[in-house]
Structures are given as C-alpha cells and as structure tokens.
Amino acid sequence: MANPAANSQSSMGHVSSNTFSSQVRVVLRVRPFLPSEITSKEKSPIPCITLLDLDNRIGKEVTVHIKDQWTSRNECYNLDSFFGQEDRVGHIFQREVSTVIPGIFQGLHATVFAYGATGSGKTYTMEGTKDEPGLIPLAMSTILSSCKNAQGSVEIAYYEIYMERCYDLLEPKAKEIMTLDDKEGRLQMKGLSWAPVHSMDEFCDVFSTGVQRRKVAHTGLNDVSSRSHAVLAIAVTNGAVKGKLNLIDLAGNEDNRRTCNEGIRLQESAKINQSLFALSNVIYALNNNEPRIPYRDSKLTRILQDSLGGTSHALMIACLNPASYQEAVHTVSLAARSRQIVNYVGSANKKETPKVKVDMEAKLRAWLESKGKNKRIQRMNGSCSPFLGKTPTSIRYLKQPGSVRSSAKVKTTDRKLFDSGAPISTTKKVYAHHQPDDALFTDMNALTNLHSFLHQRNIFSSVLAANDASLLKQKIGPFEVDEVVQHDIRLDSSSCVLKDEICQGCTHALLDRDQEKTSENLHSCGASYSKEHDDGLLNYCSSLHAYENSDTYMATQDDGERLEPSKAVPLSLNGANDDKREKSTNDAKFFRTFDLPGTPFNEENLHLPSINNVGSPATTERIRELQNSPRKVLSPISSNIGPVKHLSSDDRVCLILLDPKTPKSACEKDEVGIFGTPLDKFNALSSNLKESLLQEYLAFLNIASKEELMQLKGIGQKRAEYILELREHTPRPLKSLSDLEKIGLSCKQVNDMFRRAARGIFN
C-alpha cells in the first residue's frame, strides 16, 4: 500500500523543504451485518454499499456505489480506499496507519479518526476486541517496538469530549480539563495528564482503566454506545524531536427517532450531533474556501483543527453499517468532501505556528478573495509570496484546482457536483426564501450552517433573507439559481414560518434556538406552541443536528421536494404524539413534515389558516389581504440570470428554486442582470462589502477568545470578559450593529473602526 504521505507529496508538490501538502486521506470501512440485522428470510442480505472497479482497489482511489434496495435511489462517490465486510482491522492498520508511524519519529503529527453513525463500528475499529485488536493497540505496539530501536520514549494522554466539556480519562475522577489557546493560537489542554508507557502490558492497564471511565450507554441502536468523542494521544520523544499520533473514536450521529433516546441520553445525543454538525461545517467551509472556518464552534472541531486544514497528517476512517442506506449517504458524502482538504504537514519542531491575528484588512481581503476579486487582492498583497504567513486561512488559498480529486472512470454529466462530494444522481432543488427586510438571517454563520447542513443531507432547501435581490444573490453562496418563483406572502421579521407553504403540504417551518421565538414562529402560521412541545422539539432538533449550534433552523422533509398535501405525514412537535412520529419515520426515513398543532394537512388546508391565531398585527393584516385576494404563485422561470430581475424589494417573499452545483464565485456567476445601472451595481457592492465586514466583525466577537478580543481596538479586558459572559447565556449574543450597544460600543465607534480599516486598504 502506498504511503499516504508519499502520495500526497507527489501529487501536491513541496511547499518547502520541510513542509509538504497532504490531502486528508479518507477510507471506508463497512462492518459485517449483525445477527439482529439479518432476518430469517434473507440469509445473506445485500449491503447498501458496494465497491465499483474491484481491480482498482489498490489504486489511487476507489469508487463506491450506495444503493437503496427499496427505492431506485443510488449514488457514487470517490474515496481513497475501501475495506469491506471481510476485511480485518489488521488490514486497515497495515495499509493505512502503519505508514504514518515513521513520520511521528521524525517529529510529525498525525491524526486517525473514526467517523460514522451510531453502531457503525467505530469503537470496534479503534479499540478492537481480544480476538481482533483494533487500531489503537496495533499502533501502540508498533510505536513501542520502533521506540526500542530508536531509543525514544512514549507517553500517552486519553481524554473525552462529553457534552462539550473535556475530561481526563487517565485521572481517577475523570477531572475536567480546560482547553485554552496559547499566545500562538495553539490549543493547550490545561491539566491534561500524560502517562509514560514502556510496554504493551503497561499500556493495556492504563488504557483499559481510561476506557472504563469513558461514558457509554445503551441506546435503541447500539447496546454499548459511546456518549463522547474519545482521543488517545501518543507522544513520542526521539532525542530532541517530538511527534504525536492522535487516535480518535468519535461518537456517532444519532437519529433520535430511531434511538428512542430520552432525558439525559437525548441531551447527550443533541451535543454529539451538534459537534458533528460543527465538523461538517468546518469541512464545508474548507472546501468552499470560506474566509472564516468555524473551528471554534465546538470542542471537537477545535481539537481537530490541526488535522483539517492544519499541519497534521489526517486519516479519516468512515465507518458504515451495511444495512442503512440513509446513514451511508450521510457518512460517505461528508467523507468524500473531507478528502479535498489539504493540510500542510511539517516538522512539528521546526514549523512556525500560525498566529491568530485580528486584522480587519485581512478579513476584507479574504472576503474579496472569496468573491473572486483577485486583482484587488494582488494589489493588496503587493509582491508577497502566497506562502508567507501561513495562517490556517491563507493556507486554504494555496489549494490548487488540481488538488480536487476526481475519477476519470465515473461517468457523470455533473462532474463538478461529483467532485464537490455531492452525490452524482442528485437533481433536487433548493428552496430559498427571499425576505425583504433582511431581519431574519443577518447572521451569515447561521446561513452557512444551514446550507451546509441541508446540502450534506441532500436536502437542498434553504432560507435566505436579504434586503435586495443582489444581496440575496451574494448570500446564496455555493448554489446557482435555477428558477425563481414569486411567493405571495409577506413575513414580518419575527414570523419565520412560511404559512402558505405549510398550507400546501409543503414542509418548511423554522425553529429558533430561543423557545419564545419558536413559539412566535409557530404562532405566525396559526399554530400554538406550549412548553409541552419542548421534548418533541428538542428531539426533532437534535435530529436536525442543529438546535444549539446556530440561531435559526428549518425543518423540512427529507428530499426537499414538495409533498402532495395528501401525502404529507404529520409529525407532531409534541413528544407525546409518538404514533404519528412513528408513522412519519416509517414513511420518510429521514426528516419529515411535522405537524403544527391546529394546522392539519389536508386538501382544505390549501388556503391560509384562520387569522385568529396569527402573531403580529402586520402579518395578520397581510394575511387578511391575501385571503381576500386570489392565490397567486407565479410559475417557475428557468434561466439562471433573468428571473432575479423579477425580484422586488417590496413586501414579497420570493421562493427560489436552486440546484446544487459546484460553487462559483459570486462575481463569476452573474453580475450582469442582477444589478441595474453601473451606479446601482457599485452601490450594491459597497453596501454588501460593508455588511459583510460587519458580519465578520460580529462573528468574530461571537467566537473569539478573550485574548483575541483584546487585540481589537476598543476592546479591553473588561469588555472582553463581558462578551464572554454574554456568550454563556446565548452562544451568539451579537447579531446586529445595534447589539454592539450591549457591550458599550456605539455605532459611531464601530463605523469609525470600519472607516479606518477601509482607509488602510485603499492607502
């Protein structure tokens, strides 16, 4: 088996004599069927995933085919390697992990992490059994024997991330450890204990005690399900050189309608799903060269930061249950995206650690770059080499188009789509709602999360808000507009539910992390919401992997296409309504419509519901108007560019149908047509630029560490501490310019700051 490091060196070329680029290597591991998955009728069930091109198994990449045996749905993906049901963990070790160990003795860092749904075999692969040792004992034993030859020493640390907190598993009471940034922006685990290890016996003693401390529990899908992400760090000292191998067993994605989790299990599950969602966002942002990579959205992504777009080798083992098509699609689509990420691996002892620098100019540069304004950037950069100042952000821009792997063997009309990691066969639509007053989705982050979350699950359905069509176009980001349909209902800023769609049996409703807001949202579509919905909501939202991660999320059906009203299956938000949920689960497999109490789906419901239950007076008034006028939904317009002209900034909400395509820059897409005169265009761009800077600034305030905050002009220790305090109550407390008053910054101060940043750029 080829050495991944060697592969990537040759494919990507050297960046410097001791730093080389290396794509995240992604291999697939399909576990055997468990006895409980084999019905008496079918003795040898067919796995939902198969390897195409068996001959190519040892080649540079493999193509896998995922097929749903009950429907005609199927997808193909390219990955680096495939291990089927008959393959033993030893094979994976020999071919994938043993090759990175020599690098550890030369001071490199490497991470091997098992990713997959609950019950897919991650722990089995990492820890193994008595009869079949897993990657952890195999790696340890190889490191120990290499150590003897090299006369080096080995230490291990073992910790878990449970409910977004880190606990040291080598300490008797699994004490909590703090994760801090050092001056250089590197993650430090304060108080983590390291145990020296000289032999396998010693290792087994220490490690097995840690394993017993790790939180596991019985769930509906796995008898012994990990409730935390566990990280075993093996540090090797070889003379003056120190290298490290992280072996990570992630907790699995959980669909709580299938696990039947309740109480604490449900809360754990929400945290697990939330952190895996953050992981998918990081992968998505890296793939799309986004100016900000949301590493800080969870402990997991912070810990994996060096392995995703950083300076560590990374191997992802995507684990699959052969019986679950939906899980397979979810896991493999994320895995396929991950292998496009490029790391810049260098000697841990020599490398200059990137500094986290607060620099509005850099942010603006990144933003311009993401919009394809390269000339401006060249001017801003002067004659600097792109390799200088390799912060994680700048590293991403070194990614060459050629670095995106593709398979010549895969015949697809949408090659770009395939390369982007999305399934080939997808033709589903994205629904984006244009909301005129831009009040709902001013948070770009929430928007990105939403895109990523939905895209990853083939739910090409999304919500956007913008105060004019051009801004909307900018915000659409990676998607291309196919069609625009005017949608004839006005929403005020607090009403998030598209009443009119729900009435058609279509399935969009927005949940807000703030329960009061959710209640308002539901009210606005004629539904009532009470505390007793909380269970159901939490359950639902943890299935969405999203509830606590961002501000607003949309619940939607599984495939993003409209349902016939008669086919819509209500799923109550109320946890008590289990029979309905059960039915919904059976019918929908994944996400499904949920029933808004008081708004049953049926033919009669094709008109707007009674105005008596509706929220704000403005909405009520508008609905009254609409009820008195004939329903008006314009037909789809097929061009990519033309329809946007029809967007109005009056009180309409536009429903835009989008097809997921490989991202293009906003500039490249269609500047023609969305703007009016050149002056309009200039004005629109200027206002977008200002808005983007503001959003970046707010996003930064919402996530930066205290030290980073204090590097901003106008933010001293007290203000930084106050921001951190605000975050304890609401993770993203600052959403708009006026919110800055909460931290005692006047609009004038902020405007001055932006002015200074802009002057710096144009000087």
Annotated binding-site ranges: 116-123
Task: Determine the Cα–Cα distance for residues 103 and 317; give it in Å rounded to an integer.
Answer: 19
| Shortest reach from residue 565's CB to ligand ATP, in Å | 37
Does the footprint of ligand ATP cover residue 118 (CB under 6 A)? yes
Task: Determine the Cα–Cα distance for residues 639 and 623; give it in Å rounded to an integer.
Answer: 31
Q: Which stretch binds ligand ATP (CB under 6 A): 120-128, 421-429, 503-511, 619-627?
A: 120-128
Q: Which stretch binds ligand ATP (CB under 6 A): 31-39, 364-372, 628-636, 647-655?
A: 31-39
At residue 732, φ and ψ (nearest 5 deg) are -125, 80
Task: Determine the Cα–Cα distance for residues 421 and 337; give it in Å rounded to an integer.
Answer: 5
Does the footprint of ligand ATP cover residue 251 (CB under 6 A)? yes
Kindly tell me which of 34 and 46 has the beta carbon lying closer to ligand ATP: 34
For residues 345 to 374, the per-residue mask of contacts with ligand ATP, x marking binding by CB under 6 A and - elsewhere, is ------------------------------
Does the footprint of ligand ATP cover residue 82 (CB under 6 A)? no
| Shortest reach from residue 275's CB to ligand ATP, in Å | 13
Write out the binding residues for ligand ATP, residues 301-320 only, by CB under 6 A. 319
At residue 551, φ and ψ (nearest 5 deg) are -90, -40
| Shortest reach from residue 219's CB to ligand ATP, in Å | 7
Sequence-distant (6+) residues with CB within 8 A of 661 are 414, 416, 417, 478, 479, 480
Kindly tell me which of 114 and 509 has the beta carbon lying closer to ligand ATP: 114
Kindly tell me which of 229 and 581 has the beta carbon lying closer to ligand ATP: 229
Does the footprint of ligand ATP cover residue 109 (CB under 6 A)? no
Strand ranges (E), 564-652: none
| Shortest reach from residue 130's CB to ligand ATP, in Å | 12
Sequence-distant (6+) residues with CB within 8 A of 8 are 20, 21, 22, 23, 25
| Shortest reach from residue 326's CB to ligand ATP, in Å | 16
Does the footprint of ligand ATP cover residue 324 (CB under 6 A)? no
> Which residue type is seen at 507?
T
| Shortest reach from residue 313's CB to ligand ATP, in Å | 23
Q: Which stretch binds ligand ATP (CB under 6 A): 113-121, 197-205, 288-296, 605-613?
A: 113-121
State the number of CA atoms in the 13 A half-sphere of 293 facing the CB. 28
Indicate which single residue of 21, 23, 226, 692 sits in contact with ligand ATP (rule: CB under 6 A).
226
Task: Determine the Cα–Cα distance for residues 51 and 45; give it in Å rounded to an integer.
Answer: 16
| Shortest reach from residue 89's CB to ligand ATP, in Å | 7
Kindly tell me which of 108 and 276 has the beta carbon lying closer to ligand ATP: 276
| Shortest reach from residue 131's CB to ligand ATP, in Å | 10
> Which residue type is seen at 67?
K
Residue from 514, 513, 509 nearest 496 by CA: 509
Residue 420 CA, chain-centre distance (Å), reads 14
| Shortest reach from residue 284's CB to ligand ATP, in Å | 22
Indicate which single residue of 47, 84, 116, 346 sits in contact with ligand ATP (rule: CB under 6 A).
116
Task: Determine the Cα–Cα distance for residues 321 and 319; give it in Å rounded to an integer.
Answer: 7
Indicate which single residue of 6, 13, 14, 34 sits in contact with ligand ATP (rule: CB under 6 A).
34
Q: Which stretch binds ligand ATP (CB under 6 A): 116-124, 206-214, 515-523, 706-714?
A: 116-124
Q: Which stretch binds ligand ATP (CB under 6 A): 224-232, 283-291, 421-429, 719-727?
A: 224-232
Residue nearest to ligand ATP (CB): 252
CA distances from 128 to 78, 93, 122, 136, 542 (A): 27, 12, 9, 8, 29
Kindly tell me which of 260 and 747 has the beta carbon lying closer to ligand ATP: 260
Could you tell me how many residues of this chain bind ligand ATP (CB under 6 A)?
A: 18
Indicate which single residue of 8, 81, 111, 123 sits in contact with ligand ATP (rule: CB under 6 A).
123
Q: Is 275 helix (H, G, I), strand (E, B) or coil?
A: helix
Kindly tell me which of 265 and 475 has the beta carbon lying closer to ligand ATP: 265
Indicate which single residue of 21, 99, 222, 370 sits in contact with ligand ATP (rule: CB under 6 A).
222
Kindly tell me which of 251 and 699 has the beta carbon lying closer to ligand ATP: 251
Kindly tell me which of 334 and 444 has the beta carbon lying closer to ligand ATP: 334
Rounded to 10°, the helix 515-523/534-543 angle is 100
Residue with tokens 């008053």: 741
Antiparallel, parallel or unpaired: β 25-30 and 81-83: parallel
Task: Determine the Cα–Cα distance for residues 90 and 102; give it in Å rounded to an integer.
Answer: 18
CB atoms closer than 10 angstroms to residue 629: 9
**Binding-site residue ranges for ATP:** 116-123
Query: Which uninterrupted H or E stretch holds 158?
Result: strand 153-162
Kindly tell me which of 227 and 337 has the beta carbon lying closer to ligand ATP: 227
- Output the 3-class SS for 175-202: CEEEEEECCCCCEEEECCCCEEECCHHH
Indicate which single residue of 8, 63, 99, 120 sits in contact with ligand ATP (rule: CB under 6 A).
120
Task: Determine the Cα–Cα distance for residues 464 and 457; give it in Å rounded to an integer.
Answer: 18
| Shortest reach from residue 46's CB to ligand ATP, in Å | 18
| Shortest reach from residue 363's CB to ligand ATP, in Å | 37
Kindly tell me which of 273 and 552 has the beta carbon lying closer to ligand ATP: 273
Does the footprint of ligand ATP cover residue 31 (CB under 6 A)? yes
Sequence-distant (6+) residues with CB within 8 A of 50 are 64, 65, 67
| Shortest reach from residue 111's CB to ligand ATP, in Å | 18
Does the footprint of ligand ATP cover residue 252 (CB under 6 A)? yes
Does the footprint of ligand ATP cover residue 260 (CB under 6 A)? no
Strand ranges (E), 171-290: 176-181, 187-190, 195-197, 216-217, 225-226, 229-238, 241-249
Does the footprint of ligand ATP cover residue 225 (CB under 6 A)? yes
| Shortest reach from residue 224's CB to ligand ATP, in Å | 6
Kindly tell me which of 114 and 245 has the beta carbon lying closer to ligand ATP: 114
Residue with tokens 């002057």: 759
Kindly tell me which of 131 and 650 has the beta carbon lying closer to ligand ATP: 131
At residue 160, φ and ψ (nearest 5 deg) are -125, 155
Does the footprint of ligand ATP cover residue 502 (CB under 6 A)? no
Does the footprint of ligand ATP cover residue 328 (CB under 6 A)? no
Triad 471, 476, 477: Cα angle to 5°: 110
Does the footprint of ligand ATP cover residue 124 (CB under 6 A)? yes
Residue with tokens 């069509």: 469
> Which residue type is seen at 7?
N
Task: Determine the Cα–Cα distance for residues 336 and 338; give it in Å rounded to an integer.
Answer: 5
What's 70's DSSP letter? S
What's 493's DSSP letter? T
Indicate which single residue of 121, 294, 477, 615 sits in contact with ligand ATP (rule: CB under 6 A).
121
Does the footprint of ligand ATP cover residue 122 (CB under 6 A)? yes
**Cβ-count burial of 388 within 10 angstroms (0-12 exposed, 13-18 middle, 19+ buried)?**
exposed
Indicate which single residue of 4, 47, 103, 119 sits in contact with ligand ATP (rule: CB under 6 A).
119
**Cβ-count burial of 173 within 10 angstroms (0-12 exposed, 13-18 middle, 19+ buried)?**
exposed
Task: Determine the Cα–Cα distance for residues 186 and 607; give it in Å rounded to an integer.
Answer: 56
Residue from 445, 433, 497, 442 nearest 469 by CA: 433
Whether residue 121 contacts residue 29, with contact meaning beta carbons closer than 8 Å, is answered with yes
Q: Which stretch binds ligand ATP (CB under 6 A): 29-37, 455-463, 567-575, 581-589?
A: 29-37
Kindly tell me which of 250 and 647 has the beta carbon lying closer to ligand ATP: 250
Residues that bind ligand ATP (CB under 6 A): 31-32, 34, 116, 118-124, 222, 224-226, 251-252, 319
